[in-house]
């Protein structure tokens, strides 16, 4: 079992790195097809299954499923430790099965796991919690499994961009980090320093509360019109913030996702009409 898990993570990491749509650390999506994009999943097995069912990749070769923030949350073992790595393995298997259609966006919990930084959720330090669960299952192979998980998470792209001028990433740098943000992270190999504060991959994945001025500045610099992000908690599952930003959350009972066409030009309100409640998928 450990060897199968290790192989899955290695093969999925290679598939991430070799994704033909990947340019640097950005997935540049084709001019036609459809996007199914999640918000944060955080170990929610049921919502993950709903996303996969809805996307129906086997029967829709022009659909791209984009997932983010899969770890930290959801089911626990008998000791109360986090089992979300199991869901990450399922996502890795999906990438191997559909390497041209499944893509990931690196999130702040991913960067925290990669760099072994503390991250709290519901009163638990999540990296300790997930490490204990991995050790309980894999015992002597646990350290190796953890490293393969880090390598897989590190292989993820950090953003996606569409020809109809929509930017997809876990978050964006907060207002005070714009001036010193290193845009080269989108084009060059990432380093561990990029993922640690105040590195630019860190500020990209951890940013919150973006002013309209910041959004407009980033839209101009990134050559896009609209943003769809995760990261910021949304009790109702989604929200429109400012004039050109939608936030998605997919980790709870009110979770939502979005489906949109790559050919069509959208206004922010038209894009909002593409947001779908996960509970509607049986």
Please say whether the beta carbons of 16 and 157 come within 8 A: yes
Backbone phi and psi for residue 27, each to the nearest 5 degrees, phi listed first: -85, 115
Query: What does pLDDT average to in each consecutive run of 10 residues of the chain (282 residues)?
Result: 92 98 98 98 97 98 98 92 96 98 98 92 87 94 96 98 98 94 96 96 95 96 98 96 97 97 96 98 90
**pLDDT reported for residue 31:** 96
Query: What is the separation, in whole angstroms, between the first and last Cα of the chain?
Result: 31
CATH superfamily of 2-280: Metallo-dependent phosphatases (3.60.21.10)
Please say whether the beta carbons of 191 and 202 come within 8 A: no
**pLDDT reported for residue 121:** 80
Give SS3 for 124.
strand
Domains of the chain, residue spans: 2-280
**pLDDT reported for residue 109:** 96
**pLDDT reported for residue 124:** 79
Signed CA dihedral, 162, 166, 172, 176: sign only? positive
Is this model's pTM higher than 0.85 or not?
Answer: yes
What does R_g of the chain's alpha carbons equal in angstroms?
18
Please say whether the beta carbons of 192 and 114 come within 8 A: yes
Orientation angle between helical segments 45-55 and 84-97, nearest 10 degrees: 10
Q: Max alpha carbon distance in the chain (Å)?
A: 53
Distances (CA, A) of 129 to 25, 72, 78, 107, 202: 29, 9, 12, 18, 22
Pair of tokens at residue 102? 């499944």
**pLDDT reported for residue 282:** 85
């Amino acid at each position: 079992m450990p060897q199968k898990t290790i192989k899955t993570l290695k093969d999925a990491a290679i598939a991430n790195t070799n994704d033909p749509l990947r340019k640097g650390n950005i997935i540049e999506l084709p001019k036609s097809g459809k996007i199914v994009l999640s918000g944060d999943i955080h170990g929610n097995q049921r919502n993950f299954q709903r996303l996969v069912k809805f996307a129906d990749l086997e029967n829709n070769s022009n659909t791209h499923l984009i997932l983010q923030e899969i770890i930290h949350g959801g089911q626990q073992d008998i000791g109360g430790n986090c089992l979300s790595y199991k869901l990450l393995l399922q996502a890795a298997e999906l990438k191997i099965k559909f390497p041209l259609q499944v893509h990931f966006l690196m999130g702040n919990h991913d960067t925290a796991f990669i760099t072994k930084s503390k991250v709290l959720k519901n009163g638990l330090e999540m990296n300790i919690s997930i490490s204990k669960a991995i050790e309980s299952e894999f015992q002597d192979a646990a350290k190796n499994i953890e490293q393969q998980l880090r390598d897989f998470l590190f292989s993820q792209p950090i953003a996606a961009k569409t020809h109809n001028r929509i930017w997809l990433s876990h978050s964006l740098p907060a207002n005070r980090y714009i001036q010193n943000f290193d845009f080269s992270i989108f084009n060059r190999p990432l380093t561990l320093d990029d993922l640690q504060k105040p590195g630019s991959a860190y500020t990209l994945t951890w940013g919150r509360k973006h002013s309209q001025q910041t959004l407009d500045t980033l839209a101009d610099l990134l050559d896009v019109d609209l943003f769809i992000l995760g990261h910021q908690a949304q009790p109702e599952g989604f929200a429109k913030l400012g004039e050109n930003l939608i936030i998605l959350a997919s980790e709870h009972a009110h979770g939502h996702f979005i489906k949109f066409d790559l050919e069509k030009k959208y206004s922010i309100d038209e894009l909002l009409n593409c947001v779908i409640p996960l509970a509607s998928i049986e």
